[in-house]
Amino acid sequence: MADNSLAAIVLAAGKGTRMGGPLPKVLHEVCGRSMLQWVLDAVLDLKPSPTIVVVGHGREEVERSLAGKFPVEFAEQDEPLGTAHAVAAAQARLKGFEGKVLVLYGDTPALRTESLRDLVSACPKGGVSFLVAEIDDPASYGRIVRDAAGRFVGIKEERDASASERAIREVNLGAYAFDGPRLFTELAGILAAPRKNEKSEYYLTDVVGRFEKADVEVAIRRTTDPDAWLGINSPRDLARVRRVLQDRILARHLARGVKIVDPATTYVDWDVDIGEGTVLYPCTVVGRGARIGPNCEVGPFAHLRADAILREGAIVGNYVEVKKAVLGAGAKARHLTYLGDAEVGAGANVGAGTITANWDGRMKHKTTIEEGAFVGSGTVFVAPATLGKGARTGAGAIVTKGTRVPDGETWVGVPARPLPPKGTKGGNSSKEGARPGAGDPSRSGALAPGKGDDGVRG
């Protein structure tokens, strides 16, 4: 149930010039989802009503990224005039609101719901609370300025701070809970005053300063979460936060009985499901949307991409890539293989060097390897193609587009054709799926003994 005494404003209008490239800052991904989506997950667990995302640069992309996924409203900051100006852009959507307003930045994906809940609880009637932390490298953070008695005086942004103020290690984390009516009263005062800072912007930290000068209660909450202060302003910051969130993801799977041999070299996206008893070997990457059943083995050096599904007991070994493919129970692909847009039946064995050639330059096509089939090393399936139940391919076979290898048969060669039963000169008793010329040794790269020099076509 929504909490009508709490609203939330998430600031997501920044361009993020130091991140590189045209992508809006808050859409850079961490462990398979945007940093903004991480923030909204933490916020929405508090059930605020409404939750407003303030957009600006890349508005359409940001709104599209959240459409149908998060119950939020949008407000636009028409000019990049600072954080206080961004909060003011949401004011019209909170007309008449009398509760608390949580305000935070969309580039702080490591913040936890627990920290935000504590922040909101600490907000006094008519006042403000905000999160701080003491960190070893405070560069780029606003410093918490106190008087000789230790009382809060204000927040000074680094670019406007003196040398002594820059030495302060207590910093503002950019997460606030305001008394709603008082917030917009003080915002009006900020927006009416000259912009007297180096960036010539309206700072939200100056709003906090006005609360302090008005002699209303200002509650400073020092977080005990060692990672809460990690905001993102550069690719380096992004990499650092990714490690923090990755460790949280892996810890969750370890607690559920997944064996991760080397967490330092294992990468698992946020929405992956992994069954109990499964082993992830080093240098394995498991992308978003992957589903791994119990008692599977993955890696080392394996890559499960989007929508890869492994049923119970399936094995994906070293240098195997799986994308939008299902491996049935007990199926194996142990070495040097690409399975894209494929379905591999229970108990099937996929030999080393197998490729499903799923892309024809215009469209993706499906390969089906049915239950109990055996794929010889170096087989290429030119999709769409099917290997029937219990069927086999010889090493180096090329199963051409539109081919269905019948159940139980063995096909070899280039292009693949039925291997004649022992004691016959060619052909196959089953014509299902046979292509023109199938069974004709002259159409195969594998010649009968005595043909060519040392078994090599002349």
Whether residue 282 is preceded by a cis peptide bond, meaning omega within 30 degrees of 0, is: no
pTM: 0.86
Name the phi and psi angles at 222, rounded to 5.
-85, 120
Q: Which residues pair with 274 in a beta bridge?
A: 292
Q: Which residue has the tokens 């000068």?
A: 213
Residue 456: Cβ-neighbour burial (10 angstroms; 0-12, 13-18, 19+): exposed
Q: Can you give the three-state secondary structure of 37-83, one letter per residue? A: HHHHHHHHCCCECCEEEEEECEHHHHHHHHCCCCCCEEEECCCCCCH
Instruction: Give the pairing of strands 259-260 and 315-327.
Output: unpaired
Residue 31 has pLDDT above 50, yes or no: yes
Residues of the chain with pLDDT > 70, as a percent, come to 91
What is each CA distance from 60 to 39, 89, 103, 377, in whole angstroms?
19, 17, 22, 48
What is each CA distance from 27 to 10, 59, 238, 287, in whole angstroms?
14, 11, 11, 17
The contacts of residue 389 (CB under 8 Å, 6+ apart) are 345, 370, 371, 372, 373, 407, 408
Q: Which residues pair with 152 in a beta bridge?
A: 146
For residue 239, what pLDDT is reported? 94
Residues of the chain with pLDDT > 90, as a percent, come to 77
Domains within the chain, CATH numbers bracketed: 6-222 (3.90.550.10), 257-443 (2.160.10.10)
Q: How many CB atoms lie within 10 A of CB 362?
A: 5
What is the mean pLDDT of the segment spanning 188-204? 88
For residue 143, what pLDDT is reported? 94
For residue 225, what pLDDT is reported? 80
Q: How many residues in the chain?
A: 458
- In tens, the pLDDT along 303-327 reads 999 999 999 999 999 999 999 999 9
For residue 426, what pLDDT is reported? 53
Q: Please, are residues 267 and 52 in contact by the beta-carbon 8 Å criterion?
A: no
- In tens, the pLDDT along 148-157 reads 998 898 999 8
What is each CA distance from 229 to 31, 55, 141, 164, 171, in whole angstroms?
18, 23, 9, 22, 9
CA distance 112 to 301: 32
Backbone torsion region of residue 438, taken as left when φ is above 0, otherwise alpha when ψ lies between -120 and 50, otherwise beta? beta
CA distance 146 to 174: 18
Higher pLDDT, 11 or 18: 11
CA distance 187 to 210: 9
Residue 2 has pLDDT above 80, yes or no: no
Active-site annotation holder among 28, 303, 335, 365: 335
Instruction: Please spell the DSSP secondary structure of 205-236, one letter per residue.
Output: HHHHHHHHHTT--EEEEE---TTTT---SSHH
For residue 411, what pLDDT is reported? 98
CA-wise closest residue to 298 among 258, 264, 269? 258
Q: Which residue has the tokens 């195997």?
A: 320
- In tens, the pLDDT along 405-423 reads 999 999 999 999 999 877 6
- In tens, the pLDDT along 250-285 reads 999 999 999 999 999 999 999 999 999 999 999 999
CA-wise closest residue to 398 among 443, 361, 442? 443
Q: Please, are residues 103 and 9 in contact by the beta-carbon 8 Å criterion?
A: yes
Q: How many CB atoms lie within 10 A of CB 185?
A: 13
For residue 136, what pLDDT is reported? 87
CA distance 312 to 333: 14
Residue 437 has pLDDT above 50, yes or no: no
Residue 241 has pLDDT above 60, yes or no: yes
Task: Please indicate whether residue 253 is annotated as part of the active site.
Answer: no
CA distance 103 to 72: 14
- In tens, the pLDDT along 105-137 reads 999 999 999 999 999 999 999 999 999 999 888
Higher pLDDT, 223 or 31: 31
What mean pLDDT value characterizes the chain? 90
What is the mean pLDDT of the segment spanning 199-225? 89
Give the confidence band of 213 by pLDDT, cuts at 50, 70, 90: confident
